[in-house]
Structure 1
Amino acid sequence: MVRVPHRITPLRAFVFLCVAALPASAQDYVGSTECTDCHEAAAQAWEGSHHALAWTQPGPDTVIADFDGTTFSHDGMTARFRRDGTRYMVSVTEKDGSIRETPVHSVVGIAPLQQYLLETEPGRLQSFDVTWDAVRGAWYHLYPDQDLPPDDGLHWTGPYKNWNARCAECHATGFEKNYDPATRGYASTQAEIGVGCEACHGPGSAHLEWAVTRDAPEPAIAPTNYGFTARFETAEATIQQCAGCHARRTAFGAGNPLPGTPFADAYGLALLRPGLYHADGQILDEVYVYGSFLQSKMYAQGVGCSNCHDAHSATLKADGNAVCTQCHSPAGNPDFPSLRGAVYEDPSHHFHEPGSDGAACASCHMIERTYMGIDGRRDHSFRVPRPDLSAQTGAPDACTDCHADKDPDWAAAEIAGRFPDSAHRGPHFGTVLAAGRADPVGTRGPLSALALDRAQPGIARATALWLLEQGGDAATADAVADLLSDPDPLVRAAAAGAQRAAPDQTRVLRLLDLLEDPHRQVRITAAQQLLNAPIARLPADQQAAMNAAMGEWRASVTARLDFPETHLQLGGMALTLRNPDAARGAFREVVTLDPQNVDAWVMLVRIAAATEGRSATSAVLGEALQINPDAPALNQMLQELLP
């Protein structure tokens, strides 16, 4: 690990190419086929599952789309799909007239849609936007409302559709990205495409060694974990393993972490932020389950993924309401003794015709939102509908999802009349977060109270702390300082950010201990908050902790150098360190990867204006406007800087 003195860390040293030691070495993996002889039932359940088919080679058994000379046109682009012997070919005529024909490299998924990956240069895989609807049996475009010419960062050839960077780690086993920032190329590897046995259990070579020697007087591997790195002895361990892919998060490494790695050591979870979640925590963008489930009472009571889902087939353990009534019934479930036994699958509870959509538990308690055009995903916060809060939170409700001709006031009155003694109409963290989004300064008190309320979900408390980071003051930082030792690492990390408003010396003293926190997410956040702290000298042990945490942060940044967002962050850090040359280089990399990133262009113009004079400013602004002629921010700068 690279170590540099904290106070003199130039940005160049910060992004020195150190490697995060998160992925397991490929030789430790043996492949799913090695598991089938001994684990026949599990293997049969897994074969054909969405996990097994998450990424496959093209062939008659995997490709379900029509490649018999079909075409699809959209917004001036035409794609043609044909067979060339055993190859599946895609010919694309772009709206600028350019033509590219490429064989399908590999196949993603099976239902409700199937995508196809094209190799645009050696090692670089791109996810094509024209996709096969497995239900209707037709081609469709994932983004029909967007104008995406070939030079757009969101075009299918751009960085946001790159498979190596954005998707592969959750569709492969033992994946390592291997991005070279000097060439902007990839040499990615994986032990197995698709989510195989070892993607969850860990590399299997030690397990095979144990299996061979298990009857010996002294087995080579202790039988407590059978040679695997992941353990599923608790619901929490299982949840964290699933969450690595079923979460909206930022990865700290450049490939699959070793299965069994705690979530907060491998990822930073996205909080309940605008654009991702509604203020009350309901899903908005595609957030992949984990952040929703953390809000639920089911999670708080110890329910885990495998209580409802079969891990090997990736299907529900029962059909329809039966998956819910295995616990929510008069008989209850002895594994959850605190659960009230009651009749739920009855019109006296749901007030709908038995067997109808309205009588389905999921319709009211797991709202569905559609992503990728046709893929319905359910909200796993398992919430009681609260139309009475819609006016305060701006969030939707399950009732008017179906009764679209009605409004939330009608729904709230109906629920109040049918459940007059309900305990579910009290305060909700969503009203505090909604107010905090609108005015984080004016809501410091309620946000602090929410953050300190350990009866609330950790992700909601952490979100309150994130809002306090935007609008807190020294008194607020004092009020939430105890949360730096909260049991939840998500809260501890957010509490570190909320200390930004504390006086410099106080902030440093409070955050130093977090540099040795058990979880990487907290250590990295502490390092971020101490980047510009006025530290002249530290005792040797604390300096070592500082260097180590900074090294982990450097490694996490290095792992994402193919993301335009990373260089936008690096540019901001360079400005914090008063290094305009490094900032200029970082923002220039952003617009190289994503020419439509107006924020980066604005910063390049400002740096030119501050350091290079009118001629250079005019040149940069002209370059930016040639690509983004209608950008309001750039046109405003033209009036202000070059009148």
Structure 2
Amino acid sequence: MTKIILKFNGIPYCFAVLFLIFHSCINKKSDYVDVSEQDKKRFTSSTLIPDSHFLGDQVCQSCHSQEFEDWKDSHHDKAMAIASDSTVLGDFSSVTFRSQGVTSHFFRRGNAYYVNTEGPDGNNHDYKIEYTFGIEPLQQYIVKFPNGRYQCLRTAWDTKKNKWFDLYPDFKIIHSEWLHWSRGGLNWNNMCSDCHSTNVRKNFKEETQSYNTQYALINVSCEACHGPGKTHVERAENLGSDYKVTNDLKMVPGTNSKLLVDQCARCHMRREQISEFYNFEGTLLDHYFPQLIVENIYYPDGQILDEDYVYGSFIQSKMYHNEVTCTNCHDPHSLKLKFVGNVLCTQCHVPENYDTVNHHFHPMNTESSACINCHMTGKYYMGNDFRRDHSFRIPRPDQSLKYDTPNACTKCHDDKDDHWAWDNYLRLYGEPKNKHFSDLLIPGLRMEPDGYNHLVELAKDTVYPDMARASAVRGMVNYSGPQVVDDMLRFLKDESPLVKGATLDALGEINTSDYVNYFLPLLNDEKRAVRVKAFFALAPLDAALVPEQYKQVYNDVKKEFETSLKVTADFVGGKVREADYFLKKGDLDRAIKGYEDALNIDNTNNIVRTNLANLYYRNNNFESAEEAFKTIIEQEPEYGQTYYSYGLLLAELNRVKDAIVQMELAIKFMPDNVRPYYNLSLLYDKADDLKKAESIAVQGLKKAPQNESMLYILAYIYSKGNQLEKAKNIARRLVDLYPNNPDYRTFYNQLNARP
């Protein structure tokens, strides 16, 4: 059975987004703006917009008939609908579909649609289809569960091939796992609703683990993008020909390009949620914070790997930084591309320079000569949904050779390798003219020699995208030393709120009140996301010790922080965030409770279970700690870090023989990590087996010849075994390699003083 351990870092996202095109509005020059005075305020309100302020698409149609016709039947229009003969596309004529040992039977009962499939108890049950979800290239189906939960089936309908298919055909998912369709991974309330309907309130009640999710309109309506129409209609009726759009609508002609992209991005972004609901006040970072470039979500050069829903890629691009918006390519209402083929790109790029054999070196009017196939490669998600990378990058086979990242050349020429691609790139184009941020980010994230300096260089240079700079700052936390903290502190004053937020996340992992004077001013930041992250970083500060001038804002932001915890309380990441907050405050019991709650959401998340085991140990609950490690080993028997942590626990309990067994397994499953060698050598020493202790230390030193821990332990073992010359040689190396450590010189002198 294959286990899938999802590493969210607290970022909720929707598996069920079926459309790629940004909802937006025509971006043309005019005197209209949509930046209201409210948008300029530092603290946006948390006021809920009444559903009655959303008038519905028929009201919009009365004045905007063409826009309505364009929008009708679009991906936004069909984002969600009540299941009926006019909306259901799948075959429910008593057909059976089998995948991964699960049989699903789709049938009709009167006018209703049903499926008989595996439920949360592992047995098959009949489920009524309540809603359809999406239209192309697949349609999902939603069923109702107790406690207000709605779940999206794992089996979806392929609207192009007209057949049922499994969203995860390669994974066996058992009924007790988070990814099972009846559980968190495909829950509509928290994974999907916010972006598929209008004016959504999740309304999760943690005490009862129930939902009362509500919305004004079932689909992505006109008002999902432009805001509630009540004031707009009233003003238009009262003012007649004198009416001009001011602050009563969003995403209107003349909207600043960056603001327009941000307004689209709230649904087209993998992100952490900050506010309880979206009320059209403030900006993107008053409600959400985007996922940065991290392992398993992006390739290290920023290309898409897991689903990022476009925004995280687009803000890396030169297009974004040159004022290109979603609506330059996509019709804002039909969501279709404005032009066919390379004409779309030659709106801006001179055809004579780019749409020519002399540029792309492929036959004209073929797939090979299409701009998007070189500059917007893509991946299939959800089985059959091909989505393109919107970072608009130049193919870089040289980076593929250095970093094992993909490139467009060998994606098409799959019979060739990256060496061939790079040779031809050099022949046709010469050396790349510009340095890509990934040449700094990747060595830094991989902790290569001089990697830390690369991250600092990237984070400081505003030529690079804020997305990359923020990711660099976030990666600096993997390094140690006082200089690292000093370097990160400077970015708390960066002009980019994305960089400030990433810096606070990184510094927030340090459990100390030493930097409160740096964090306190950020409680007044214009962006709610930055304020909330600053409050988390301030957790070690006793509220009674908050300086007088910050007391009011501290209490105000505390409410915003508590709201952010509340709105993510049904996510593993949200409960972990809460647990970490209490851990920083020194409340070990509430921290443990938070991690236990996280495991109740996803019992297979062994990153959480590892942290919980360590907290059990700190709380002297050794039995629970050991049980947690055993569970991890049972679920992931080849994960070496667990054996290492378990071995440390057993060593602390003075169960030396048991600890040795676990540490040997740690070496077996992560042979290149030197820490288990160090600890295993110490354990054999404790067991009075100097020969084994020496052997293990020698093996570890071969893995890392200059590692000071391995050098020291080997010198110590030689010294204890009266192999003085060997001990002196190793100690001499320690002194030479680490001259600023007085302990090594003292050790060396002591060895020389021995007879």
State the TM-score, normalized to the length of structure 1: 0.88
Larger Rg: 2
Provide closer, same or farther for how the CA distance between residues 464 and 258 of structure 1 changes in structure 2, counting only shifts above 3 A.
same
Q: Are 1:390 and 2:413 counterparts?
A: no
Cα distance in 1, alignment partners of residues 618 and 488 from structure 2? 39
SS at match of 2:165: strand
Task: Give the aligned partner of residue 8 of structure 1.
Answer: none
Structure 1: which 5+ residue stretches go unaligned?
Answer: 1-18, 331-341
SS at match of 1:286: coil
Q: Which has the higher contact order (CA 8 A, sep 6+)?
A: 1
Task: Give the aligned partner of residue 14 of structure 2.
Answer: none
For residues 479-494 of structure 1, what are the structure 2 equivalents within 5 Å? 479=487, 481-494=489-502
Letter in 1 for 2:422: A
Comparing 384-393 with 629-638, which one deviates more in the overlay? 629-638
Q: Are 1:253 and 2:275 counterparts?
A: yes
Letter in 1 for 2:216: A
For residues 68-79 of structure 1, what are the structure 2 equivalents within 5 Å? 68-79=93-104
Q: Are 1:65 and 2:75 counterparts?
A: no
Task: Give the aligned partner of residue 290 of structure 1.
Answer: 311
- C-alpha displacement of 1:230: 5.2
Are 1:22 and 1:253, in contact at CA under 8 Å, matched by a contact in 2?
no
- C-alpha displacement of 1:527: 1.5
For residues 479-558 of structure 1, what are the structure 2 equivalents within 5 Å? 479=487, 481-497=489-505, 499=507, 507-533=515-541, 537-558=545-566
Provide closer, same or farther for how the CA distance between residues 154 and 635 of structure 1 changes in structure 2, counting only shifts above 3 A.
farther
Cα distance in 1, alignment partners of residues 322 and 122 from structure 2? 58
Task: Give the aligned partner of residue 460 of structure 1.
Answer: 468
Among 225, 234, 237, the residue aligned to 2:246: 225
Q: Are 1:234 and 2:242 counterparts?
A: no
- C-alpha displacement of 1:167: 0.9
Q: Are 1:162 and 2:172 counterparts?
A: no
SS at match of 2:578: helix
Comparing 533-542 with 500-509, which one deviates more in the overlay? 500-509
Are 1:386 and 1:425, in contact at CA under 8 Å, matched by a contact in 2?
no
Q: Are 1:360 and 2:370 counterparts?
A: yes
Among 550, 553, 568, the residue aligned to 1:560: 568
Comparing 546-555 with 56-65, which one deviates more in the overlay? 546-555
Kindly provide the CA deviation profile for residues 542-583 of structure 1, in whole angstroms up to 9, marking residues without a partner as x: 122222223212111110111122212322333332222212
Aligned length: 606
Cα distance in 1, alignment partners of residues 272 and 86 from structure 2? 34
State the TM-score, normalized to the length of structure 2: 0.76
Provide closer, same or farther for how the CA distance between residues 95 and 521 of structure 1 changes in structure 2, counting only shifts above 3 A.
closer
Are 2:275 and 2:560, in contact at CA under 8 Å, matched by a contact in 1?
no
Among 174, 178, 193, the residue aligned to 1:149: 174
Are 2:114 and 2:127, in contact at CA under 8 Å, matched by a contact in 1?
yes
Task: Give the aligned partner of residue 441 of structure 2.
Answer: 433
Letter in 2 for 1:252: I
Are 1:29 and 1:203, in contact at CA under 8 Å, matched by a contact in 2?
yes
Whichever structure has more helix as a proportion of its residues is 2
Letter in 1 for 2:296: G
Provide closer, same or farther for how the CA distance between residues 111 and 410 of structure 1 changes in structure 2, counting only shifts above 3 A.
same
SS at match of 1:258: coil
Identity of paired residues, percent?
Answer: 33
Among 31, 37, 47, the residue aligned to 2:62: 37
- C-alpha displacement of 1:46: 0.3
Provide closer, same or farther for how the CA distance between residues 540 and 425 of structure 1 changes in structure 2, counting only shifts above 3 A.
same
Are 1:273 and 1:463, in contact at CA under 8 Å, matched by a contact in 2?
yes
SS at match of 2:560: helix
Q: Are 1:126 and 2:151 counterparts?
A: yes
Are 2:477 and 2:484, in contact at CA under 8 Å, matched by a contact in 1?
no
Cα distance in 2, alignment partners of residues 64 and 162 from structure 1? 21
For residues 92-241 of structure 1, what are the structure 2 equivalents within 5 Å? 92-93=117-118, 98-215=123-240, 223-225=244-246, 227-228=248-249, 231=252, 233-241=255-263
Are 1:58 and 1:105, in contact at CA under 8 Å, matched by a contact in 2?
yes
Cα distance in 2, alignment partners of residues 238 and 45 from structure 1? 20
Are 1:76 and 1:94, in contact at CA under 8 Å, matched by a contact in 2?
no
Letter in 2 for 1:592: N
Kindly provide the CA deviation profile for residues 46-99 of structure 1, in whole angstroms up to 9, marking residues without a partner as x: 001001111111122211111101111112211110111211101114697612
Cα distance in 2, alignment partners of residues 504 and 585 from structure 1? 22
Letter in 1 for 2:236: A
Task: Give the aligned partner of residue 427 of structure 2.
Answer: 417
Are 2:445 and 2:451, in contact at CA under 8 Å, matched by a contact in 1?
no
Cα distance in 2, alignment partners of residues 594 and 350 from structure 1? 48
Provide closer, same or farther for how the CA distance between residues 182 and 359 of structure 1 changes in structure 2, counting only shifts above 3 A.
same
Cα distance in 1, alignment partners of residues 187 and 509 from structure 2? 38
Task: Give the aligned partner of residue 379 of structure 2.
Answer: 369
Cα distance in 1, alignment partners of residues 479 and 543 from structure 2? 25
Letter in 1 for 2:272: T
Are 2:377 and 2:389, in contact at CA under 8 Å, matched by a contact in 1?
yes
Comparing 387-396 with 602-611, which one deviates more in the overlay? 602-611
Among 355, 359, 374, the residue aligned to 1:349: 359
Provide closer, same or farther for how the CA distance between residues 499 and 254 of structure 1 changes in structure 2, counting only shifts above 3 A.
closer
Task: Give the aligned partner of residue 9 of structure 1.
Answer: none
Are 1:466 and 1:497, in contact at CA under 8 Å, matched by a contact in 2?
yes
- C-alpha displacement of 1:226: 6.4
Provide closer, same or farther for how the CA distance between residues 39 and 627 of structure 1 changes in structure 2, counting only shifts above 3 A.
farther
- C-alpha displacement of 1:497: 4.1
SS at match of 1:454: coil
Structure 2: which 5+ residue stretches go unaligned?
Answer: 1-43, 659-755
Among 540, 547, 569, the residue aligned to 2:577: 569
- How big is the alpha-carbon RMSD for the aligned residues of Structure 1 and Structure 2? 2.7
Task: Give the aligned partner of residue 412 of structure 2.
Answer: 402
Task: Give the aligned partner of residue 478 of structure 1.
Answer: 486
